[in-house]
Amino acid sequence: MSRYRVTILIGALAVLCHAQSAIAAADAAVLAAAEACEPYARALLQRLVSIDSGTANVAGLDDLSSTLLPELERLGATVQRVPSTVPGLADSLLATWTGTGRGRILLIAHMDTVFLPGVAAERPYRVDGNRGIGPGAGDDKQGIVTGLCALRALREIGFRDYGRIALILNSNEETGSTGSRELIRAEAAASDVALNLERGVPPDGVVVARKGSAKMNIEITGRAAHSGLEPEQGRNAVVEAAHQILAMGEAREDHRGDVGKDERQGDVGDDFMRLFQLLASRLADDPGEGAGLLIAAIDHEPGDDRRGKKDEQ
């Protein structure tokens, strides 16, 4: 996390609060506040990265929340734990600050990572030059630290020309925010603008659009038959699923699909297969177009195995 990134966020918060002239005059103070936060930021990032917090690791995420809650309260926030709407996921945190101005700003970062329990100990946090490296350091614990440093800097320079700042620390972003979607939607609707604190791309500019995502569930029903006596009467759902997967991979290059899970039911003729397809569209705000392309790619008549032959499954 660079001082430059924190300064950009502080400046963006001020501009969004309609205080351009005030922040222009306070540039030196903003930079000084960002620089003063660096030792705190480095120490906090190491603490956060040292806690395993994969999406399914409820205990680890609760530990992370317990670490962050007093940090937020020291910055004058009102903090609440928001339960997941999906069972088995950890609470998210919602921190809010009330100012004296008008702008309503939403900041979002996430606490969960893609790493299993024990990885934080296997790959301990380390510093390489000016980079902090460890599981979840970039995605997205640096975002949490960046947000806290920006809010700390605003507090230090006495900037309160905003109506409300809300910070969501999401517990389940890596799996699509299924348990926090309602919270995000509600806070977004109550805000004038939202800033996502994911890491950016060089040279640390503000990213204004990213890919969207959607999930498709595909169910394939075959026909059970005895493999020894009448195999020609059967239709193998597993074989059909293989063709569907290949068709997904041949979809347009600006839409990327990943097959996430398969589940087979039935023990005669492989008569049922369930897949889900996680679709990420590189066209901002248009995962629906990618879904339509995939549907077109896999849609065909029953019995057609895509090799130009019928009824030979």
Q: How many other C-beta atoms are found inside a 10 Å radius of the C-beta of residue 112? A: 28
Cβ 89 vs Cβ 58: under 8 Å: yes
Q: Give the pair of three-digit tokens for residue 99.
A: 């100012």
Q: What is the C-alpha separation between 291 and 251, in angstroms, rounded? A: 10
| Collapsed DSSP state (helix, strand, coil) of residue 61 | helix
User: Would you call 286 a catalytic residue per the annotation?
Assistant: no
3-class DSSP state of 75: coil
Catalytic residue among 112, 161, 174, 271: 112
140, 161, 173, 174: the active-site residue:
173
Distance CA 197, CA 200 (A): 8
Length of the chain: 313
Among candidate residues 257, 245, 168, 255, the one with its CA nearest the CA of residue 215 = 257
Task: Please tell me the distance from the alpha carbon of residue 179 to that of residue 190, in angstroms, as a whole number.
Answer: 19
- From residue 268, give the alpha-carbon distance in Å to each of 207, 223, 241, 272, 297: 52, 9, 16, 10, 28
Nearest to 93, CA basis, from 108, 102, 81: 81
| 253 part of the active site | no
The answer to whether 141 and 110 have CB atoms below 8 angstroms apart is no
Cβ atoms of residues 288 and 296 within 8 Å:
no
> How far is residue 31's CA from residue 23's CA, in Å, rounded to a whole number?
11
CA 45 to centroid of chain Cα atoms:
19
Residues designated catalytic: 112, 173
